[in-house]
Amino acid sequence: MKKFIAGVSAVLMTAMSTAVYATEKNVITDNADIMSADAADSGYLFYENYENGTGSWTGRGDAEIANDSASFEGRNSLKVTNRNSSWNGAIIELDDSFKAGSAYSFSVNAMTDKCETAEKFHFTMQYNDADGEAHYEKISTSRAVKGKWIQLANQNFTIPSGAEDVCIYVETAAGKNDFYIDDAVIAVKGTHVSGAIGGTANEGDVDRDGVIDAFDVVLARKAITGNLADDMALFCADADNSGKYEVNDLVLIQEFVNGEINEFPDNTPEPEPEPEPEPSDFNYDPALSYREAPSGYLNPCSQAGTVVKETYNGIHGSNTLNVYLPYGYDENKKYNIFYLMHGGGENENTIFSDDVKLDHILDHMIMNGELEPLIVVTPTFNKSGADKFYEEFRKSVVPFVEGKYSTYAASTSEADLRASRMHRAYGGFSMGGLSTWCVADHAMDLVGYFMPLSGDNWEGMRTLTNQIDSLGYKKTDYYIFAATGDEDIAYNNMVPQMNDLKSKTNYFTYTSDFSKGNLYFLVAPGKTHWWGFVRHYVYDALPYFFHENQ
C-alpha cells in the first residue's frame, strides 16, 4: 500500500493539489475557507479532498474506489463500491510522522444513498503490535440518514503505544451498500474540524440535535403514548436497535441521560446466516510425504494436452508466456488455472522443456484421474524482476490469459477476478518461489492457493500477515503448500519462515488436509535445488489444490 507524504514541501507545488502537510496552526473554524484556501495555509497535518484523484487511499478487502461528483464540498468525493462485507471500505496507511502514543484530531465525512433508512459508519484505526498481531479501534461511530452527509470526528484520539503499520479506514457496521467519503483530515490534538451537520440519526438522540439529554427523554415518552408521529424520531428512539420502539428503549434513554450507562446495547436482529459450503469429498493425507511421479509419467502421453505460445503487451512491453491446455480442452467449460514460475536464469519455456517435462506429468495425472483438467500458465519475470512480478501478474498476465481462455472468471474486471480467486493458484521454483511469496504479499485478493518451491520470502512474513489483515480474510480464504529438499540451498532459509507461520495460529493451521487447515511444508529427504526433484513437488502438491473453493 502506498504511503502519503507528510511535509510542507509536498503541497507548495500547487494550491490546487491535495494538501498533506504540517504547520503550526491548529484550529480551523470555517470548512468553506479550507476548501478554497492555499493548502499551505489550512493548518492540517493531513488533508485529502479527492478533488484531483483518490490520493493514496485504496479499497479494503474487495472494495473498489473511484472519484465521484456526489461530494460534501467541492467537486469530487471518494466513492466506495463492490463491497462484499461490512468491513470492505476505503483505507490509507499512515506514514512515520504520525507517532504511536501521540494523540491527534481525526475527521472524515461519509454518506450513503443506498440504505433503507440509515447506515451506521465506523471510522476505524488498524495497527499491528510488536508481535505482528492486528488490532482495530474505533475512532468515531455515527449513523447517517439515507442521502445525508455526516461527520465522523474525534478531536483527541491516541495512536496506541507500540503500534506499527497504522492505517485508518471507513467501514459500515453492517451491510454492503456503496458509500462516499470526503474531506479526510488529521490535525493537531484538540483541533476542531468543521464537517457535515444534521445528517445523523443516532440511537437515543430522538430530536437529532447531536446530544442525548432530557429533551430526548420527553420525546421518547411521547412516543410511548403514540403522540410522536415523526418516523425518523421513532427510528432514533429505538435505542437498542431491536427494530421496534418499546418501553425498554425509554428506560435505556433515561439511564443514559442519568449517567447510569454510557452506551446502548446492540440488539440488532441477526441476519439470516449464509449457508455453509459443502465440505469437499477429496481424500486428503494430513501428513503428506514426498513421492515421485511414476517414471512413465516423463514420457509422452496418449492423451496429451497442448502447449500454446502466447505474446502479450504488458506493463513492461511485449512479453511471451506458455499456456498448457488439457487434453479435450473445451472453451464452453470452466477450468481452474495454475500460474507456475521458473527460477533464476531460466525463462517461460523451461517448465515445459525436455529437461523438466512437466506437461507430460500433467497429461498422465489428468488421464489417470489424479488431477482434474486445468490450465497451467508459465510466464516469465525476466523483464520485471521476481519480486515485482506481482504487478505485471495483476495488470497484464491474468487479464490477458483469462480474457482468452476459459476459467472461472466471469470477466477480467477486478471484481470478477477477485470473485474467482479460489479457482486460481500461483507457484514457482527458486526465484519463482520468491515471486510466489510476493504475489501472496501483494495480490492475495486474486489468488487462493500458493505453491512456493525452494524459495523463501525476502519481504518477511509480517508483510504476508499484513496483507491478510488488510483483506480481512479468514483461514479458509487462502492455502499455502510449500516444498523443498533438506539438502536444497533454500532449506535453511525456508525452515525458520515456515516455523514462524506455524506459530501464527490466528492465520494458519498446519496440516496437508486442507479441509481442516491451510498450511503445509513438504520436505523431501536428500533432494537438492534442481527441477528434476521440484517437478515431483508439483506432482505431490497440485492435486491438493482447488477443493476448498467456497
**pLDDT value at 16 more than 80:** no
Interhelix angle 461-471/491-503, rounded to 10 degrees, is 40
Please tell me the distance from the alpha carbon of residue 339 to that of residue 447, in angstroms, as a whole number: 10
The count of other CB atoms within 10 Å of the CB of residue 236 is 29
Q: For CATH 2.60.120.260, list the domain ranges present in the chain.
A: 8-188
Where b means 16+ CB within 10 Å and e means fewer, 254-289 reads bebbeeeeeebeeeeeeeeeeeeeeeeeeebeeebe
Higher pLDDT, 61 or 96: 96
- Report in angstroms the alpha-carbon separations of 487 from 5, 81, 204, 494, 530: 46, 49, 67, 12, 11
Q: Give percent of the chain with pLDDT exceeding 90.
A: 80
Please tell me the distance from the alpha carbon of residue 116 to that of residue 135, in angstroms, as a whole number: 31
**pLDDT value at 101 more than 60:** yes
Sequence-distant contacts of 260-265: CB under 8 A, at least 24 apart: 264/203, 264/204, 264/239, 264/240, 265/240
**Res 28: pLDDT:** 30
Q: Residue 22: exposed, middle, or buried by beta-carbon count in 10 A (0-12, 13-18, 19+)?
A: middle
φ and ψ of 365, to 5 deg: -60, -45
33 falls in which pLDDT band (50, 70, 90)? Answer: very low
Q: For CATH 3.40.50.1820, list the domain ranges present in the chain.
A: 302-544
C-alpha neighbours within 13 Å on the C-beta side of residue 57? 33
**Res 13: pLDDT:** 26
Please tell me the distance from the alpha carbon of residue 393 to that of residue 399, in angstroms, as a whole number: 8
Q: What is the largest CA-CA distance in the chain?
A: 86
Return the minimum-mean-pLDDT range out of 19-33, 78-92, 321-335, 494-508: 19-33
| Cell numbers at 402, concatenated | 483469462
Where b means 16+ CB within 10 Å and e means fewer, 308-338 reads eebebebebeebebbbbbbeebeeeeebbbb
**Res 9: pLDDT:** 28
| Cell numbers at 515, concatenated | 479441509
Please tell me the distance from the alpha carbon of residue 50 to that of residue 183, in angstroms, as a whole number: 8
| Cβ 134 vs Cβ 127: under 8 Å | yes
Q: What is the mean pLDDT of the chain?
A: 89
**pLDDT value at 10 more than 70:** no
**pLDDT value at 19 more than 50:** no
Q: Region 527-543: what's the mean pLDDT?
A: 98
| Cβ 121 vs Cβ 89: under 8 Å | no
- Counting every residue written for the chain, the total comes to 550
The contacts of residue 549 (CB under 8 Å, 6+ apart) are 422, 423, 448
* HEC-encoded secondary structure of 155-205: EEEECCCCCEEEEEEEEECCCCCCEEEEEEEEEECCCCCCCCCCCECCCCC
pLDDT in tens, 269-291: 876 665 656 667 899 999 999 99
C-alpha neighbours within 13 Å on the C-beta side of residue 266? 6
Please tell me the distance from the alpha carbon of residue 372 to that of residue 545, in angstroms, as a whole number: 10
φ and ψ of 493, to 5 deg: -85, -35
pLDDT in tens, 312-331: 999 999 999 999 999 999 99
- Report in angstroms the alpha-carbon separations of 71 from 11, 79, 187, 360, 522: 22, 9, 21, 58, 53
Instruction: Strand 118-128: give its sheet, edge to edge.
Output: 58-59, 90-93, 164-172, 118-128, 134-145
| Cβ 463 vs Cβ 494: under 8 Å | no
Higher pLDDT, 93 or 549: 93
Q: CA nearest 408: which of 425, 396, 423?
A: 423
Cα 386 to chain center, whole Å? Answer: 22
Beta bridge partners of 110: 150, 181
Q: For CATH 1.10.1330.10, list the domain ranges present in the chain.
A: 205-270
Higher pLDDT, 4 or 220: 220
| Cβ 80 vs Cβ 110: under 8 Å | no
Please tell me the distance from the alpha carbon of residue 466 to that of residue 499, in angstroms, as a whole number: 18
**pLDDT value at 67 more than 90:** yes
Please say whether the structural domain 205-270 has been given the CATH code 1.10.1330.10. yes
Q: Region 14-27: what's the mean pLDDT?
A: 27
| Cβ 424 vs Cβ 448: under 8 Å | yes
Structural class in CATH, domain 302-544: alpha beta
- Report in angstroms the alpha-carbon separations of 404 from 140, 316, 377, 451: 46, 20, 12, 24
Q: Region 70-80: what's the mean pLDDT?
A: 94
pLDDT in tens, 122-172: 999 999 888 778 899 999 999 999 999 999 999 999 999 999 999 999 999
**pLDDT value at 249 more than 50:** yes
**pLDDT value at 31 more than 50:** no
pLDDT in tens, 470-516: 888 999 999 999 999 999 999 999 999 999 999 999 999 999 999 99
CATH architecture of 8-188: Sandwich (2.60)
The contacts of residue 179 (CB under 8 Å, 6+ apart) are 79, 80, 89, 110, 111, 112, 114, 119, 121, 170, 172
